[in-house]
């Protein structure tokens, strides 16, 4: 149970469960549309837009966020290759989706997808599982944002990205950040200054190494895991 909890901490990604197999099945079931290529900082859709398509990330990173009227922003998820964007039962999108890198998206007409899902339990289950994974991720992030301090939040994020690498066969100790400090701040509910200071602190105490601002090397994974689990002593913060 402990291991399971850890493995889900702010796991913004869940490619494993919905990756290649689901994509192939969807390919053959939903009429193929030309993929959409988005420039960095370009929006896929906005909150309130009618849902015409569901998207699946083929390449790049897309951030999903909500805002308050005075501009405060909360990123609720980062979508990476394999992840679905825009799933849900409502008629309108409930959040904004913005590419944060150059990204390529597979476009699935919402109506057709709904149709297929109703007649093909297998596809329906894929979507159900994807939605379920997003709910897990959202609730884990809620625990992170609501209960962890700045250091623990960043540790949890780095670990989640490291595990993603692991699942994808990449080096789990080497993390190439596709998001800016501002994106990380809005995801973890901190300010850019605090994020920056926390990176510096983790670097200075030898937990991580910063090749440059967007390339993190994990030096002491154990410490990160203790921090994320809420087991670190006060002195280590």
- Please tell me the count of residues contacting DNA according to CB under 7 A: 23
Q: Is 66 near its own copies (CB under 8 A)?
A: yes
Q: Is 181 near its own copies (CB under 8 A)?
A: no
Q: Is 138 near DNA (CB under 7 A)?
A: no
CA gap 33, 14 in Å, rounded: 24
Give φ, ψ of 82 to 5 degrees: 100, -25
For residue 80, CA distances in Å to 10, 62, 129, 162, 172 come to 14, 7, 16, 14, 16
Of 2 and 34, which has the nearer Cβ to its own copies?
Answer: 2
Q: Is 20 near its own copies (CB under 8 A)?
A: no
Q: Which residues, numbered 134-153, are part of the site for its own copies (CB under 8 A)?
A: 134-136, 138-143, 145-148
Nearest distance in Å: CB 180, DNA: 3
Nearest distance in Å: CB 127, its own copies: 7
Q: Is 233 near DNA (CB under 7 A)?
A: no
Of 27 and 231, which has the nearer Cβ to its own copies?
Answer: 231
Q: Residue from 74, 101, 120, 149 that binds DNA (CB under 7 A)?
A: 149
Q: Is 52 near its own copies (CB under 8 A)?
A: no
Nearest distance in Å: CB 69, its own copies: 5
| Both tokens assigned to 15 | 């490619």
Q: Is 6 near DNA (CB under 7 A)?
A: no
Give φ, ψ of 54 to 5 degrees: -105, 145
Of 42 and 225, which has the nearer Cβ to its own copies?
Answer: 225
Buried b (16+ CB within 10 A) or exposed e, 31-59: eeeeebebeeeeebbeeeeebebbbbbee
Binding site for its own copies (CB under 8 A): 1-2, 4-5, 8, 17, 47-48, 66, 68-70, 72-74, 76, 87-90, 92, 94-95, 117-119, 121, 124-125, 127-129, 131-136, 138-143, 145-148, 189, 229-231
Binding site for DNA (CB under 7 A): 149-151, 180-182, 189-197, 199-200, 210, 212-214, 234, 237
């Amino acid at each position: 149970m402990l291991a399971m909890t850890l493995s889900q901490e702010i796991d913004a990604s869940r490619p494993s469960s919905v990756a290649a197999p689901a994509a192939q099945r969807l390919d053959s079931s939903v009429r193929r549309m030309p993929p959409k290529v988005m420039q960095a900082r370009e929006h896929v859709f906005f909150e309130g837009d009618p849902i015409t398509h569901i998207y699946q990330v083929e390449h790049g990173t897309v951030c999903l966020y909500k805002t308050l009227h005075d501009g405060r922003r909360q990123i609720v998820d980062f979508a990476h290759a394999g992840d679905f964007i825009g799933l849900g039962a409502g008629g309108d999108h409930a959040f904004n989706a913005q590419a944060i890198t150059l990204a390529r998206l597979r476009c699935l007409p919402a109506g057709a997808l709904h149709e297929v899902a109703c007649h093909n339990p297998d596809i329906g289950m894929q979507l159900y599982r994807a939605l379920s994974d997003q709910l897990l991720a959202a609730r884990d992030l809620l625990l992170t944002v609501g209960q962890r301090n700045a250091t623990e939040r960043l540790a949890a994020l780095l670990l989640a990205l490291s595990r993603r690498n692991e699942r994808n066969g990449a080096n789990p100790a080497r993390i190439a950040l596709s998001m800016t400090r501002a994106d990380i701040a809005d995801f973890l509910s901190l300010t850019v200054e605090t994020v920056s200071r926390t990176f510096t602190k983790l670097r200075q105490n030898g937990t991580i190494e910063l090749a440059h601002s967007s390339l993190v090397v994990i030096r002491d994974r154990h410490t990160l895991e203790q921090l994320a689990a809420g087991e670190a002593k006060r002195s280590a913060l």
